[in-house]
């Protein structure tokens, strides 16, 4: 039996799992370096000049209508584990 590989790329997974579409202007925030900072963002938010590491205030000054989602590490781990289990069934 030959080896099979599955390569998957979800550029906005961390926000898609929260119900956001890659076309939505949304950021995922969490505590980093003593401030609430952008940990992940949708492609649409990136196109508007938002970037990882910005504080929430900086992000809102660039795009006042940005949707902000608080990071849920346990929920994200659960969702990643579910994806891995699903992929292991087909690989």
State pLDDT tens for residues 21-37: 999 999 999 999 999 99
Residue 3 DSSP SS3:
coil
Structure confidence by residue, pLDDT tens digits, 38-74: 999 999 999 999 999 999 999 999 999 999 999 999 9
pLDDT of residue 10: 79
Each residue's pLDDT tens digit, 9-23: 777 889 998 999 999
Domain coordinates in residue numbering, the chain:
13-90
Fold of 13-90: MutS, DNA mismatch repair protein, domain I (3.40.1170)
Distance CA 87, CA 72 (A): 23
- 16: closest CA among 34, 36, 38, 43? 43
Q: What is the pTM of this model?
A: 0.81
Q: Rounded to whole angstroms, how far apart are CA atoms 51 and 40? A: 8
DSSP string of 9-72, one letter each residue: --TTHHHHTTT--TTS-EEEEEEETTEEEEEEE-HHHHHTT--TT-BHHHHHHH-TT-EEEE--
């Amino acid at each position: 039996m030959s080896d099979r590989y599955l390569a998957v790329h979800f550029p906005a997974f961390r926000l898609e799992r929260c119900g956001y579409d890659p076309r939505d202007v949304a950021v995922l925030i969490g505590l980093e370096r003593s401030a609430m900072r952008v940990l992940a963002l949708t492609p649409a938010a990136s196109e508007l000049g938002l970037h990882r590491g910005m504080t929430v205030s900086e992000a809102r000054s660039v795009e006042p209508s940005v949707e902000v989602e608080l990071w849920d590490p346990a929920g994200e781990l659960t969702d990643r584990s579910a994806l891995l289990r699903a992929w292991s069934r087909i690989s």
